[in-house]
Chains A and B, each alone.
Chain A
Amino acid sequence: MSEPVLSVENLQIAFGSHTAVKDLSFNIGARQTVALVGESGSGKSATALAIMRLIEREGGRIVSGRIKLHGEAEADIAALSDNAMCALRGRDISMVFQEPMTSLNPVLTIGEQVSEVFVRHRRMSRRDALEAAREGLAKVRIPEPARRLTQYPHELSGGLRQRVMIAMALACRPRLLIADEPTTALDVTTQAEILDLIGQLQAEIGMAVLFITHDMGVVAEIADRVVVMRHGVKEEEAPVEALFARPRATYSRLLMEATPKLGSGAPVLGTIPATVLEVTGLTTRFAARSGFLGRGGSAFTAVNNASLTLGAGETLGLVGESGCGKSTLARSILRLVEPDAGSVRLAGHDMMRLGRRQLRAARRDAQMIFQDPYASLNPRLPVHELVTEPARIHGLARPSECRDLAVSLVEKVGLEADAVDRFAHQFSGGQRQRLCIARALSARPRLIVADEAVSALDVSIARQVTDLMLALQQSDGVAFLFISHDIAVVERVSHRVAVMYGGEIVETGPTDAVLANPQHSYTQRLLSAVPRPDPARSRRRRLALPEKFPPELAADFMRQRGVDHFVRAEVA
């Protein structure tokens, strides 16, 4: 290994009396990328914030150990004065954060936010700094950099914002870049672009990168060395190829097994099931409110002419990037938003023709599970009331029976019976999602719509929750509409998939057929962008990103490309 840029020695970090990181040591060399991997609570973000000495701001402190920055200005960051540290931050070490949507200041222009780094560390005049900021934006390949200078963060997409963050971080050509889950909040195709960008700039500037992530696919793609952490302790440190080939620590193995791998096969359906849901030509528009008193303005078509069917005991995976209309499609099916055209048949009801009361009754057959298990459970209700609410609303259980029903429901989702007297805040994220499933089941639905239901969970927990869904499906024969941006998870649970792009279903078919033999250029692009937990393969993949995008959709019809496999026609 080259001369280290940063060496962390016996670092110990605590929040109050709780030790978050214990006796952690590792080195990062110039031009090297070290991935810090672990699930939530592993202490990986605390380590990053300690290196930036921002940990005190978050209520933690460095208890002991050294964080040595080598090179011209040799320093022990753990013992540096506040002023000296302040001069170091953003100049020698900088950081990119997870949430591009909230990490930029909403009331300052992009130009102001990028240029102030030059003013601070390079002592430039405002004018020169703005010019330098423009060059910095060009360097991270932001189109029209001069125009961006006067724009505000809300005018930029998530991917562009993350590029701005990178431009800010790399303004002074730092020796170390800390990237804390920089692509977790982004779509896979955007993620691939950002990872490429960081790699290229690293080669150009020669900086060291500390990359924090929970995603083994991303690790395989970018890391030279990997540090696996769990509960604040380093479980294993190894070169990336060695780790993936022969993980030594048990936890590393568990983590890799839990990571969904694209291409590891989808569940297969035995017989052709009875149809539960049939959607034909569903179209939902949102009126864009603009103009005087909200009149006028144009309508935005969120879902355009979508058709799909779903049988009992079957799971249809709905994939697509943020804003593609997948959640709106799900809501339109339940008429939680009112569709403009099309028909929906759910368990024998013609949903579009139902009146208000009938609609409420019909919704018994379709329950929803949402992404955020923290926000979707009422914190003031005990579990036995929470999970039986749909049953009570639809008159399926008398108040006297509710307790017994609650006990059987929580046991069904793998929780202890005494959970029924507790409150939502006493459960972990995974357990809460189990409660959400129990609640959905209480109405004995024919269809469960799971909207990014495992996206907020750690991989090992997410796996347990999806396994639970599969088991319940086998025992109860309930149909799942499984919405996710994570194709590998979708593959694991779905018998069939539908790929959405720009409000339209561009490809649909049996999961294996679509993923192994994608026909639509968008599906191909999406699949090629998915990071694979296989270092040798994922590095080759990068060249495969199609250049020309987006595709032009041709006249409005689907072509059959295989058994039950349909593809939206494209203009070549």
Chain B
Amino acid sequence: MLTYLARTILKMLVTFFVIVTLVFFATRLSGSPIDFVIGEGITQEDRALLTSYYGLDQSTWVQYRAFLASFADGQFGLSFVERRPVAEIVGERIWPSLQLLLSSVVLTLALSLPLGILGAVYRKSWIGSAVMVIAFVGYAVPNFVLATLMILIFSYWLNWLPVVGNGTPWHFIMPTITMSGILIAGLTRFTRNAMLDVLGQDYMRTARAKGLSEQTVIFKHGLRNASITILSVIGLQIAGLAAAGSVVVEAIFAWPGIGDLLVRSAIVRDYPVLQFGVIAVSVAVLFINAAVDIAYAYADPRIRLGRA
């Protein structure tokens, strides 16, 4: 188990370095930020002055080293636009993003696990079919369409829910549903399939042959096995949500999170903020993955104790 842990952490470090490097070079491919900082009509001299001020006239290699060095003071450089430490700007955005992510994950798990189990156990009755229909519809509707529809119905027509910001619990409803929509559909289907696999296993027949009640058979013998498979995808799904889902959802609902920040800084080519924002999201994804890897290993004694 300890070697497994060590390996997971080492993998994380390597991945982190690769991401940091990729982010640095990808950002530089998007064009010069000078035009956005100043606007139109600046002289060549001013442009040269600014370029050297931001250090953009130096070789890529020097810039890369400076970029890595900026990690050392924990500030991660200054924003081109706001002239504030990047860490401060991103820091303000982390908590709202995390809140939205957590509420989405809770909603997803609370709905898709029971639905998936129902779908598997009652696969031959109308309950199972209903679960599948819900899952397919949920999968087919893109989140920006869902968001627009909800805004139209609940805010514009009925005037029940606020659209912009994160001030009250009411503000959470539509962004959370938008974030988790596709995930609920996907995870319901996945849970159903994982349970179906498990229901056909020999040890389930053994459990029934022992005279155990159907609840014990399904929840103790079945779900515990299915949860190993489910755990392995939950990590990827949540990570995907943190990375991609938040950008769309936060942009639509003007949620003051990292996704929203990424969109804004990409538009104005605020390199330091953009770089660090992407890195922050990547680190979150890495941590979620590592946490799931470790939970996965813990849940499966064959990994925890090593294969005999």
Please, which residue of chain A has its CB at the minimum distance from the CB of B224? A107
Q: In the complex where A57-B208, A120-B211 touch, is A291 in contact with B305 (Cβ < 8 A)?
A: no
Q: In the complex where A108-B224, A293-B7 touch, is A103 in contact with B203 (Cβ < 8 A)?
A: yes
Q: Mind listing 15 A-B residue pairs with CB under 8 Å?
A: A54-B205, A54-B209, A103-B202, A105-B203, A106-B225, A108-B224, A117-B210, A117-B211, A120-B212, A152-B301, A154-B305, A165-B206, A168-B206, A292-B6, A293-B7
Partner of A154, one of B202, B225, B307: B307
Are B299 and A90 in contact (CB-based, < 8 A)? no
Partner of A292, one of B3, B203, B209: B3
- Whole-angstrom distance between the alpha carbons of A554 and B288 in the complex? 55
Q: Which residues of B contact A99 (CB under 8 A)?
A: 202
Are B209 and A107 in contact (CB-based, < 8 A)? no
Query: Which residues of chain A (43-92) have a CB below 8 Å from chain B?
Result: 52, 54, 57, 86-91
A394 within 8 A of B: no
A426 within 8 A of B: no
Residues in chain A within 8 A of chain B (CB atoms)? 52, 54, 57, 86-91, 94-95, 97, 99, 102-108, 116-117, 120-121, 152, 154-155, 165, 168-169, 290-293
Are A116 and B212 in contact (CB-based, < 8 A)? yes
Q: In the complex where A104-B203, A108-B221 touch, is A89 in contact with B308 (Cβ < 8 A)?
A: no
Please, which residue of chain A has its CB at the minimum distance from the CB of B11? A293
Q: Which residues of A contact B305 (CB under 8 A)?
A: 152, 154-155
- Whole-angstrom distance between the alpha carbons of A137 and B162 in the complex? 64
Partner of A89, one of B210, B224, B225, B302: B210
Residue among B6, B208, B299, B300 having the largest count of chain A Cβ atoms under 10 Å:
B208
Please, which residue of chain A has its CB at the minimum distance from the CB of B202? A102
B169 within 8 A of A: no
Are B208 and A54 in contact (CB-based, < 8 A)? yes
Are B206 and A103 in contact (CB-based, < 8 A)? yes
- Whole-angstrom distance between the alpha carbons of A291 and B47 in the complex? 57
Please, which residue of chain B has its CB at the minimum distance from the CB of A105? B203
Other A-B contacts than A103-B203, A116-B210, A168-B206, 11 sampled, CB-CB below 8 A, are A86-B213, A89-B208, A90-B212, A102-B203, A106-B203, A107-B299, A107-B300, A120-B212, A290-B306, A291-B3, A293-B7
Residue among B206, B300, B306, B308 having the largest count of chain A Cβ atoms under 10 Å:
B206
Q: Which residues of A contact B202 (CB under 8 A)?
A: 97, 99, 102-103
Q: How far is the CB of B210 from chain A (nearest CB, A)?
A: 4
Please, which residue of chain A has its CB at the minimum distance from the CB of B206? A103
Q: Which residues of B contact A91 (CB under 8 A)?
A: 211
Q: In the complex where A106-B203, A108-B221, A152-B302 touch, is A120 in contact with B208 (Cβ < 8 A)?
A: no
Q: Which residues of A contact B6 (CB under 8 A)?
A: 292
Are A107 and B210 in contact (CB-based, < 8 A)? no
Q: Which residues of B contact A57 (CB under 8 A)?
A: 205, 208
Are A154 and B211 in contact (CB-based, < 8 A)? no
Q: How far is the CB of A82 from chain B (nearest CB, A)?
A: 8
- Whole-angstrom distance between the alpha carbons of A298 and B58 in the complex? 53
Residues in chain B within 8 A of chain A (CB atoms)? 3, 6-7, 10, 201-203, 205-214, 216, 220-221, 224-225, 228, 299-302, 305-308
Partner of B209, one of A90, A121, A155: A90
Q: How far is the CB of A208 from chain B (nearest CB, A)?
A: 17
User: How many A-B contacts if CB must be within 8 Å?
Assistant: 92
The 9 closest A-B pairs by CB, nearest first: A90-B211, A89-B211, A90-B210, A102-B202, A152-B301, A105-B203, A95-B209, A103-B202, A103-B206
Residue among A107, A117, A293 having the largest count of chain B Cβ atoms under 10 Å:
A107
Are A106 and B301 in contact (CB-based, < 8 A)? yes
Q: Which residues of A contact B301 (CB under 8 A)?
A: 106-107, 152, 154
B interface: dominant SS: helix
Q: Which residues of B contact A103 (CB under 8 A)?
A: 202-203, 205-206
Q: How far is the CB of B242 from chain A (nearest CB, A)?
A: 28
Q: In the complex where A106-B302, A107-B225, A108-B221 touch, is A154 in contact with B308 (Cβ < 8 A)?
A: yes
- Whole-angstrom distance between the alpha carbons of A90 and B209 in the complex? 6
Q: How far is the CB of A122 from chain B (nearest CB, A)?
A: 11
Please, which residue of chain A has its CB at the minimum distance from the CB of B213? A86
Are B206 and A97 in contact (CB-based, < 8 A)? yes
Q: Which residues of A contact B300 (CB under 8 A)?
A: 106-107
Please, which residue of chain B has its CB at the minimum distance from the CB of A53? B208
Q: Which residues of B contact A94 (CB under 8 A)?
A: 209-210
Q: Which residues of A contact B205 (CB under 8 A)?
A: 54, 57, 97, 103
Q: Which residues of B contact A168 (CB under 8 A)?
A: 206, 210
Residue among B203, B209, B216, B306 having the largest count of chain A Cβ atoms under 10 Å:
B209
Q: In the complex where A54-B205, A97-B206, A165-B206 touch, is A107 in contact with B211 (Cβ < 8 A)?
A: no
Q: Which residues of B contact A106 (CB under 8 A)?
A: 203, 225, 300-302
Q: In the complex where A99-B202, A105-B225 touch, is A292 in contact with B211 (Cβ < 8 A)?
A: no
- Whole-angstrom distance between the alpha carbons of A121 and B206 in the complex? 15
- Whole-angstrom distance between the alpha carbons of A116 and B211 in the complex? 10
Q: In the complex where A99-B202, A103-B202 touch, is A88 in contact with B207 (Cβ < 8 A)?
A: no
Q: In the complex where A107-B299, A152-B302, A154-B302 touch, is A86 in contact with B211 (Cβ < 8 A)?
A: yes
Please, which residue of chain A has its CB at the minimum distance from the CB of B3? A292
Q: Which residues of B contact A120 (CB under 8 A)?
A: 210-213, 216
Please, which residue of chain B has its CB at the minimum distance from the CB of A104? B203
Q: Which residues of B contact A108 (CB under 8 A)?
A: 220-221, 224
Are A155 and B308 in contact (CB-based, < 8 A)? yes
Please, which residue of chain B has its CB at the minimum distance from the CB of A156? B308
Please, which residue of chain B has its CB at the minimum distance from the CB of A95? B209
Q: How far is the CB of B13 from chain A (nearest CB, A)?
A: 13
Please, which residue of chain A has its CB at the minimum distance from the CB of B221? A105
Please, which residue of chain A has its CB at the minimum distance from the CB of B10? A293
Q: How far is the CB of A210 from chain B (nearest CB, A)?
A: 13
Please, which residue of chain B has its CB at the minimum distance from the CB of A90? B211
Q: Which residues of A contact B307 (CB under 8 A)?
A: 154
- Whole-angstrom distance between the alpha carbons of A57 and B213 in the complex? 14
- Whole-angstrom distance between the alpha carbons of A107 and B205 in the complex? 15
- Whole-angstrom distance between the alpha carbons of A102 and B200 in the complex? 11
Q: Which residues of A contact B216 (CB under 8 A)?
A: 116, 120
- Whole-angstrom distance between the alpha carbons of A88 and B201 in the complex? 22
- Whole-angstrom distance between the alpha carbons of A293 and B8 in the complex? 10
Are A292 and B210 in contact (CB-based, < 8 A)? no
Q: How far is the CB of B208 from chain A (nearest CB, A)?
A: 6
Please, which residue of chain B has its CB at the minimum distance from the CB of A171? B210
Please, which residue of chain B has its CB at the minimum distance from the CB of A168? B210
Q: How far is the CB of A465 from chain B (nearest CB, A)?
A: 28
Q: How far is the CB of B299 from chain A (nearest CB, A)?
A: 7
Please, which residue of chain B has its CB at the minimum distance from the CB of A121? B211
Please, which residue of chain A has its CB at the minimum distance from the CB of B209? A95
Q: How far is the CB of A91 from chain B (nearest CB, A)?
A: 6
Q: Which residues of A contact B302 (CB under 8 A)?
A: 106, 152, 154
Partner of A105, one of B206, B299, B306: B206
Partner of B7, one of A54, A169, A292: A292
Q: Which residues of A contact B211 (CB under 8 A)?
A: 86-91, 117, 120-121
- Whole-angstrom distance between the alpha carbons of A86 and B210 in the complex? 8
Q: Which residues of B contact A89 (CB under 8 A)?
A: 208-211
- Whole-angstrom distance between the alpha carbons of A120 and B306 in the complex? 31
Q: Which residues of A contact B214 (CB under 8 A)?
A: 86
Q: How far is the CB of A555 from chain B (nearest CB, A)?
A: 31
